[in-house]
Structure 1
Amino acid sequence: MTEETIAQTTDPPRIHWRRMYLISIGMILIVVGIAWQFNLLPFANNLPRQNAIMVIAPYRHQGTWVFDDSSAGLLQEPFVAGVPEMIDVIVKDIPDADQGFRLLFSAKPFPQYQKKLVWLRGDGGGNYYRFSDSDMEGWICPAMFKYYETAPKELYVKAEPMK
């Protein structure tokens, strides 16, 4: 055997640090992607939704309208300060609405929306809106920010029976 052959067979294997670094970064990205997909990242739950049209299912509880949205961390979130009366207007033709109905809402107009709400002012962390076709107004609480980063200047809503 030559000296060169002996040196090659006795040298410890070389660690390719650049390759290890790239593999590590790749593994971290995969783990973060999986955690994001399964809503396991603590900061991801606080981000507003990205849907164009959102839907909740309000129902009556202890004399007022409330809704649940487990994905937003809301349970029996009440509508207050004029909004229950606004809801009464949009559900007047829905039988048994007290038991629950579907409420679609969006910051952009969508086909067959019932009412347009116009932003009036912010107050107490929430925002006042009024129906565009009447003087009826109500306060939407800060839970709105589970759905929007900032208070939309307009909201479009539609109430439908549960099917």
Structure 2
Amino acid sequence: MGVNPMANAMMVIYPYRDRDMWVFDDEATGLVKEPFVFGVPEMIDAATATIPDAAQGFRLIFSAKPFPGYQHELLWVREEYEGNWYRWRSTGQEGWLCPALFKYFDAAPAAIYCRMEPSS
């Protein structure tokens, strides 16, 4: 399990709502309207409840290592259908991250640390 050696230690995406789904675009990886599915939307809803207008977009900073100011820790649970299940440590909620995860990591990290904040 590890970080892609070509990737930054800290990565940023800007999720937003499109047709009642949380999605994100990342020109550097070729992802457009990449959806979050299977438990992750509910996790995002809970984590962004205090971010004004989060549905219009918010900043999601993430890393395989803890960093100053991280808010959420997702722990690896298991692999399934080429994706990976993670458990949000503080709530116990689980969500599946699809193979797009490997655009950022060369293998599923043991933990993913996140910070969610307004995009502006």
TM-score by length of 1: 0.70
Aligned mates of 1:133, 1:71 — CA distance in 2? 31
Q: Which structure has greater strand proportion?
A: 2
Larger radius of gyration: 1
Give the match for residue 100 of structure 1: 57
Give the match for residue 44 of structure 2: 87
Percent identity among equivalent residues? 56
Residues 1:68 and 2:29 are matched in the alignment: no
The structure 1 segments of at least 4 consecutive aligned residues displaced by more than 2 Å after TM superposition are: none
Name structure 2 gaps, 5 residues minimum. Answer: none
Name structure 1 gaps, 5 residues minimum. Answer: 1-46
| Relative contact order higher in (CA < 8 Å, ≥ 6 apart) | 2
TM-score by length of 2: 0.94
CA 1:76–1:129: 2 relative to 1, 3 Å: same
Give the match for residue 81 of structure 2: 124
Pairing 1:1-163 to 2, within 5 Å after superposition: 49-163=6-120
Q: Deviations over 1:104-131 (max 9, x none)?
A: 0000001111110000000001000011
Aligned mates of 2:60, 2:84 — CA distance in 1? 19
Aligned residues: 117
Q: Which amino acid aligns with 2:86?
A: Y
Q: Which structure has greater helix proportion?
A: 1
C-alpha displacement at 1:48, in angstroms?
6.8
Moved more, 57-66 or 128-137: 128-137
